[in-house]
Amino acid sequence: MSVYIALGSNLEDSISHVSDAVNEIGALPGCQLLKQSSWYQTKAIGPGNQPDYINGVILITTTLSPIALLDALQGIENQHGRVRTLRWGARTLDLDILFYEDQQIDCPRLNIPHPRIAERAFVVAPLLDLVKRMPTPPYQPLADLLSNLDSQELQRLKI
């Protein structure tokens, strides 16, 4: 199955957290990294005064079920010191499944496609590095989506 995963971090050494996570996801049993977007720096949109985020998107193939993949991703987040206390709060690592092939999943732990993709330039821009249209219906052109979003002070990093 083809899966797009968003990565983000705004605590400690954010570049190391997201870069290490890419390698750790690619090393999961049944997973293979296919593509990686550029890294982007954006202002935090969560509560309080937070450091800027580093965001990106990867494309993998996997034989893991959506829930097994979610469990594995949350394990990686935990290894990076992720603490879940405040919704949209600062975090060492955030890993979100954006798309899992063409599946639509709506359960308490997982919603696919991710419900807020089209609202977030920090997801749409790196996703556009990998694909031109949304991978699932209505197959919107990502460039059109991005042009209608507040840039959220999005900046592509040269790393």
Whether 144 sits among the annotated catalytic residues: the reply is no
Mean pLDDT estimate for the chain: 93
Range of the domain at 25: 2-156
User: Which one of 52, 71, 96, 120 is the catalytic residue?
Assistant: 96
The catalytic position among 52, 71, 94, 133 is 94
Catalytic residue among 13, 20, 87, 91: 91
Does the predicted TM-score (pTM) go above 0.85?
Answer: yes
CB atoms within 10 A of CB 132: 10
Residue 82 falls in the annotated catalytic set: yes
d(C-alpha 94, C-alpha 34), whole Å? 20
What CATH number should be reported for the domain holding residue 120? 3.30.70.560
Whole-angstrom distance, CA of residue 48 vs CA of residue 39: 24
Active site residue 94: yes
Using alpha carbons, list the distances in angstroms from residue 57 to 49, 107, 155.
25, 23, 15
Number of domains, the chain: 1
Question: Which pLDDT tens digit goes with each residue over 38-87?
Answer: 999 999 887 778 999 999 999 999 999 999 999 999 999 999 998 877 67
Banded pLDDT at 88 (limits 50, 70, 90):
low
